[in-house]
Amino acid sequence: MDLALQRVSIHGHEVGFRMGGDGPAVLLIHGIAGSSETWRDVMPALSEHCTVIAPDLIGHGQSAKPPGDYSLGAQASTLRDLLALLGVERATVIGHSFGGGVALQMAYQYPHCCERLVLVDSGGLGREVSWMLRLATLPGSEYVMPVLFPAFAREAGNSVSRFLGSLGLRNEHVAELWSAYASLTEAASRQSFLRTVRSVMDPGGQSVNAMDRLYLGAHVPTLIVWGEDDAIIPVAHAYAAHQAIRSSRLEIIENAGHFPHVEAPTRFVAAVVDFIQTTQPADLGTEDLRQLLRDGASGIEEDRGSQ
């Protein structure tokens, strides 16, 4: 199934998205310097079981790239509004890398929209992250990036990629990294990239951490999927999140790096479909959230008292 790009205006800004299939809604959120294209290998199979919605986040892909707020909260708000415009009340929210942080934020801000949560090599679960991303937070990096990402490199690299593909030498992990690099040869994308990175990182690593709020996920079915060989966000974050969300499932994919949905799409789809079919969707109301917050506060006080 070819899920063609569609467009809708949200608060005056164009948002691109792909949608297709039938069944329970699944919202796919890509990472930094990515787009809905990152889900190309899993969308057809998922759409056989679900209604798949894969947006281009603001500042990415074919969506608008205005100056402004690129924080997790701002992206989550836009996705809530996108679902409302599409007539989708609730969805299983799947987020990869930075998109995982957006998914966590969405589940926190708008629990009524989130039936299940799937975190794929997710950000927001620890300090450690690749030094390449941390460099982008340094002062003056905006002046260096045009040199590192010249426009002429995009077409040259695409030609090499097509040639290697014709020889059957395509490496999916490298291809995904190249796609991110190619997007940064455009000035507007570079500016959006820097705003996005600096909203969640500093030179020391990730500056936004959801670990202190993961107890709220106890009543939201959660699947954690991670590439065992991830060199961008370490797999240790997956184990830590799994321990913090006691009811969560953990799927470590061997011989995969930061993009398990691209590197092992069949296994990824099987894990997600099984997760959706064998769990009951969350239905968290205001009173439920209030009680969870009270229980969490009590637990914190008990921990302090035992120190």
Residues known to be catalytic: 97, 230, 258
- Nearest Cα neighbor of 48 from 72, 26, 77 is 26
Distance CA 79, CA 102 (A): 9
Q: Which two tokens stand for residue 298?
A: 């009590």
Quick one: CA dihedral 105, 107, 111, 113, positive or negative? positive
Distance CA 57, CA 65 (A): 9
- Nearest Cα neighbor of 189 from 303, 56, 296, 2 is 56
Q: What is the number of residues in the chain?
A: 307
- The answer to whether the CB of 113 falls within 8 A of the CB of 106 is yes
Query: Helix, strand or coil for residue 265?
Result: helix
